[in-house]
Structure 1
Amino acid sequence: MSWLAEIRTSALIGTARHAVPPPPSSLGFRPPEGQSPEELLLDQAALADVATRAARHLVGTEPAAPVPASADETPEASSEAARLLDLLLNQPPVGTELRNQLVADWLHLAEASGRRVPHRLLPALLSLAKTKPAIGEHLHPSIGVRGRWLQDLGRANSAPLSPRIRHWAELAGAEALTEFAQLRFNDPATARDELDLHWESLGARERAAHLAALSTKLHSDDEGLLERALDDKAKGVREAATDLLDRLPESARARRMAARLQPLIHSKGFLRKKIDIDLPPAPDASGLRDGIAPDPRAGEPNRLARLHAIIRGAPLDVWTTASGQGPAATLTQLAGEERVVDSIAAVAASRGDLEWVRALTESRQDARLLGLLPPDEREHYLERYLRAGSVQPSLLVPLLGELPRPWGSGLADAVLERVCAKEGSPLAAMLSAVLPMALPQDVAEKCRRLEKSEDAARRRLLSDVVQYQSFRQSLTEAFR
């Protein structure tokens, strides 16, 4: 019986019934004196595991020695900068999110100063970056030649033997949709052409799901396939097509919708113009094909829903043509038609029409529209909304998180005021992953005075701000 088999037997039936075997002399291992049978068994099990792993290799192949790395000509970061990175990697004085941000900050500062990560810290940094994309995307060029060499070596050693790569149409369900979505992202035209080619082989649900995936990088060239989908027997496919065509204001369907909307709009008055809107009649065959709902079998038709469907599909310039003025003045003429303006806002948001988005943002408070504005404009409106207290702060949190950091002092002050207000504890909790990095240095100083808040969530958040800003300042000084 082999040594490994003897160890397994001792472990299975117990050391009282089967003595622990001595280790093979070829391993050069001698157990310590005075060990109990149980301790001897555990020691040898660990030894067997190490020996087995060390002897493992790919069958039929000889591992090739890696090509040595080239010399790193970029100078290493200063000893103080290296000490701070070592601290963040091995004994971080802050929470996980702040640590990750500070490591990314370190890499940015290293790049700006033309310095690199010390070689001894590369393994720990690369290991962390594998699980933290926010760090991984900032590694270059600060890891230098040796760091890139280690990355390539790791990829070569971990690359799996992949099976034959199959075409997305050969896959099924969610797997097929995932592959198609990736193709659409990388090569929109090829994805559209292939969906057109395989259209008849897909089930109704698959056609609808794959069609909806065209929303990524939607283009006027997609119109032909979407028009084809309007004639599909499946309602879900037709609805997916109309949703996408709503976002193409220069399409043939948009022109058809414009022709239906124009007769419904009437501009009245001379000094104070006002736009009145009629409700549309029952749709004809062409209207039904374009997604306008038919009359129900029983009860009254929802003519308002028909109007909204027409508005969503028509170009927005139908309204400015009717008013003879720009979007802002047109909205003034639509005063009192809140449902119509809601539909116009949905259209402006889905198409990203900045002229209409700006006009709508001036007349209504809609967080969905704010997300489409350039960052500096968005910051202005967010500050205004926060100070007015007219929008639920929780609705603004995603928009605050997307702004470039640090924020301007005006917005930072407005956020801090809301966080420190009596009802600000929930907002503090929601902003815990954002605020420490978002506050500029001058506003962060205020947090030191507010750090003794009685509320735990606010106290923790303000403490994180102080910790982050303090460590960030140390990093900045270390790279001077």
Structure 2
Amino acid sequence: MSTDAQTEPRPQTPAPAPAPEPEPHPQAPAAALPAQAAAAYTRTPWEELVTTALLGTDRRTPHLDAPGKEAPTALLDAAAVQTVRRRAGLRPAPAAAARPEPAPDDPRPVVPPAARRRLASLLADHPTAGGGRRGTAPDLMELLPQWLALANDRDFAAPPELLPALLNAARGRTDLRPQALAFAGPRARWLATLNPDWKFALRAAPHGATTTAAQGGQDETEVERRWQEGLFAERVALLATLRAHDPAAARALLAGTWTTERAEDRLMFLDSLRTGLGPADEPFLEQALGDRSRNVRATAAELLSALPTSALAARMADRASSCVALDRTASTPTLTVEAPHECDAGMERDGVTPKPPAGRGARSWWLGQLVEAAPLATWQSRLGGRAPADIVALPVTDDWRGELHAAWCRAAVRQRDATWSRALLGSPSAPDAAGPGAVSLAERAKLLAALHAPERAAWVAGFIDAHGLSEAFQLLGVCAVPWAPDLGRAVVDALNIARDAGSYPWSFSGVMGLAERCLDPAEAVRLDALTAVPDEREDAAPGAGGYWSEAFQRLVTTLRLRAVMREELTP
């Protein structure tokens, strides 16, 4: 103890609060303190010392037996002694009655050595202090999710020595947890039982618990036990994971305890049925329509409306079709709308919320909910067999067009109908960036999610060519990674145009960040020409060319690093 104490300098001024692991006092090492004072310092709990330091010795006098010393000095002496004691570990004690179970085996191969070193560097990266500039250096922490996705796709196991760092990273970033825990495998739960800082891993589905009930035996028993005895978050994760593998088994598990669950828990459990939703879920959801919780009833109705063949969908189709009709007497076929005049008990049971939000008319509120919940196929048979694009193009009387189209947008998203989504999106080059039916770019992004990845990328590329990048950020977020060549070229060309305009690149920092993670690494060759500092125009912002050069250098460096990462993880 005295050797460590003598090699560590003492701060010149007592700090207001000791660091989490304060260093020993050099002029009063533990061995040199009087026995009585050393014993007093040792008896004072570390938590009490920290509390006293945070409050200040003027407000809280430390309970220390240190005659002749001022309170701040005595506090630092006590912290020094406790630090050495904590570092020295526990005194020998009788062994526990039973040794911990060994870590479970992970049959997957460990990542290759180069990829192991890469993971260590990704985990060691930290954000720039104060959010300052990173210069041309890649943001390694933002590449970690992509690295984990590649490793999981290739079914690699995590290096044992990096598991603590991996779990610490996942502890601080919830977006990393699914991929990090999948990569860590069964040893993540084993480590979590030994360190409470990693208890979030215990809330994930247990290894092997996702096997279907048809396999029976111990797996089925383990699933039932965890469902009955687990914490709420563990049960939610278990139900969601089981639902992805065996929807019927998950539904049966939920039905077995449904009547005994709390209302807020029923709502969360019911939401898990979105995964693998099918006609077999209809009886259970119809039963949930009579739940005493309004939120549970609304969620059950929403799920049933996503099943076009359900009885609720048929009821909503009847109600909605009575509100919208085709006027054939006009010179041009026109849609007429007669919104509901009341919200009856049947509508309310089927999920229609009777009270509109502030500033919204009640009748338009009810109409929107009916149209949103009706199967989209209703309108083709109701409106003369017209295709969705032709229906969307029909004029609507009395300013009901916006309300009707917005409800069709929500229905297309809920039912994941690509044909209707395509019709409501319209042409990407249309002058109105919000489209014929979407009420916002966020709504358009949801509609895009119903299209296949190549069509989605082509549409967004056309939108960027017509409208630029300023309104494309949300749309880029729903495109598959890596971006298709046409989309990548559109983004790079738009960034080049923005650079030539002479403005600063900060307005496009979000798109630049997406490009670092989503551009095909092959685009680095094209981007090399943009890394040079351009000649500044007279009307350009001062120094803008240098900032753009730095941004493109960082982008190129990141793309090349991603290419190397992919090679390192290729068997």
TM-score range (shorter-chain normalised) is 0.5 to 0.7
Distance in 1, Cα, partners of 2:292 & 2:327: 40
Q: Report what 1:361 is aligned to.
A: 425
Distance in 2, Cα, partners of 1:344 & 1:379: 23
Aligned residue identity for 2:303? L
Where does structure 2 lack aligned partners over 5 or more consecutive residues?
A: 1-30, 43-63, 70-76, 127-133, 171-175, 203-221, 428-434, 439-443, 537-542
Aligned residue identity for 2:423? A
Q: Report what 2:455 is aligned to.
A: 377
* CA-CA distance at 1:59 after TM superposition: 1.7
Structure ranking higher on relative contact order (CA contacts 8 Å, 6+ apart): 1
Distance in 2, Cα, partners of 1:63 & 1:301: 64
2:137 corresponds to 1:98: no
Aligned residue identity for 1:260? R
Aligned residue identity for 2:557? Q
* CA-CA distance at 1:179 after TM superposition: 2.1
Alignment deviations for residues 275-304 of structure 1 (CA, whole Å, 9 cap, x no partner): 3333345455534433456699xxx98333
Summarize the Cα distance change of 1:116–1:450 in structure 2 as closer, same or farther, 3 Å threshold.
farther
Q: Report what 2:405 is aligned to.
A: 341
Q: 2:489 aligns with which of 399, 403, 410?
A: 410
TM-score by length of 2: 0.58
**Aligned-residue identity in percent:** 22
Distance in 2, Cα, partners of 1:312 & 1:267: 22
Instruction: Decide whether the 8 Å contact of 2:112 with 2:569 is kept in 1.
Output: no
Distance in 2, Cα, partners of 1:176 & 1:160: 21
Alignment deviations for residues 287-327 of structure 1 (CA, whole Å, 9 cap, x no partner): 4433456699xxx9833333222212211111111231221
Distance in 2, Cα, partners of 1:295 & 1:437: 44
Instruction: Decide whether the 8 Å contact of 1:100 with 1:135 is kept in 2.
Output: no
Alignment deviations for residues 251-279 of structure 1 (CA, whole Å, 9 cap, x no partner): 10111122233344225269954333333
Instruction: Decide whether the 8 Å contact of 1:428 with 1:458 is kept in 2.
Output: no
* CA-CA distance at 1:347 after TM superposition: 0.2
Aligned residue identity for 2:450? L
Distance in 2, Cα, partners of 1:359 & 1:179: 40
Aligned residue identity for 1:274? T
Instruction: Decide whether the 8 Å contact of 2:279 with 2:307 is kept in 1.
Output: yes
Q: 1:329 aligns with which of 385, 390, 415?
A: 390
Q: 1:465 aligns with which of 555, 561, 568?
A: 555
Q: Report what 1:33 is aligned to.
A: none
Distance in 2, Cα, partners of 1:438 & 1:208: 35
2:302 corresponds to 1:235: no
Instruction: Decide whether the 8 Å contact of 1:320 with 1:326 is kept in 2.
Output: yes
Instruction: Decide whether the 8 Å contact of 2:327 with 2:334 is kept in 1.
Output: yes
Where does structure 1 lack aligned partners over 5 or more consecutive residues?
A: 18-39, 142-147
Instruction: Decide whether the 8 Å contact of 2:148 with 2:179 is kept in 1.
Output: no
RMSD: 5.4
Q: Report what 2:167 is aligned to.
A: 130
Q: Report what 1:179 is aligned to.
A: 235
* CA-CA distance at 1:441 after TM superposition: 1.7
2:527 corresponds to 1:444: yes
| SS of equivalent residue, structure 2 residue 307 | coil
Summarize the Cα distance change of 1:280–1:478 in structure 2 as closer, same or farther, 3 Å threshold.
closer
Distance in 2, Cα, partners of 1:306 & 1:116: 52
Alignment deviations for residues 357-377 of structure 1 (CA, whole Å, 9 cap, x no partner): 112122526222123322222
* CA-CA distance at 1:427 after TM superposition: 4.2
Instruction: Decide whether the 8 Å contact of 1:419 with 1:427 is kept in 2.
Output: no
Q: 2:339 aligns with which of 273, 279, 300?
A: 279
Distance in 2, Cα, partners of 1:358 & 1:180: 35
Distance in 2, Cα, partners of 1:340 & 1:68: 57
